[in-house]
Amino acid sequence: MENSSLFLSSSPNSLSLSPTKTTPAADCIRIGAPRTTTVLASSRVEFPSIRLHHSRSPLSPLCCTASEGILICAASESVKEEQEMALKDGQDDRIARISSAIRVIPNFPKPGILFQDITTLLLDTKAFKDTIDLFVERYKDKRISVVAGVEARGFIFGPPIALAIGAKFVPMRKPHKLPGEVISEEYSLEYGTDKIEMHVGAVEAGERALIIDDLIATGGTLCAAIRLLERVGVDVVECACVIELPELKGRARLGGKPLFVLVDAAA
């Protein structure tokens, strides 16, 4: 005898079922997304975590209940928000436009280096606007009050993002560039050390900050920026970069701090 079953189709934030017939199978199977499949009705259907390109954290699993041929899925608002953000990150054609607008220059500033040149991105008004828009869409509802830009190219992307989400912009500069009293944080280079500084009083304890730069390579500068802000009681929500050089493993140096990147580039 054939078992009564349900036909499951999925969309970014909804699931629907319709009656169908199928051969006997296990009561509950794990479903990958996004695809369409059939499952037998059961009391619980568990969906695995979904990891999409450009999204650091996998989405939380959804547990659904089946009753009288209807599948009811209850997802929290935070899960729905993560889904929307991850789907935008992984499927947005703006990413390809941004990537193609970045010029790669070999052997600069020294032999063996592939330099990721964002000046060509800035010349492309559509790609530049797409870049800012993607960051704004991600952070506009995150209650961020500080956008901290890392010298120097973080100064290009940080201010328009800060204005759009209603946050202040705080420049994080190299030594001896800021005129007022500063607080500084040292970090290691391949040979020697360097410092990053910001003005005393630029941020307040309890504020929520986004750190922005154009590129993450070894992660030393971003790591120093995180430590500097956290020393004065600021909650660093996330770091964001246009480009990541994944082979240099800078992400691993951030101590588990979330990192959002638009474009992966070969080191």
Q: Which residues are identified as catalytic?
A: 153, 190
Contact by Cβ (8 Å): 262, 231: no
Contact by Cβ (8 Å): 243, 214: yes
Cis before 19? omega within 30: no
Please give the order of strands across the beta sheet that includes 63-67.
45-46, 63-67, 70-73
- CA 249 to CA 247: how far, in whole Å? 5
Q: Are strands 45-46 and 63-67 parallel, antiparallel or unpaired?
A: antiparallel
For 62-107, the DSSP string reads -EEEEETTEEEE---HHHHHHHHHHHHHHH-THHHHHHHHSEEEET
How far is residue 190 from each of residues 118, 193, 216, 218, measured CA to CA in Å? 24, 8, 15, 10
Residue type, 220: G
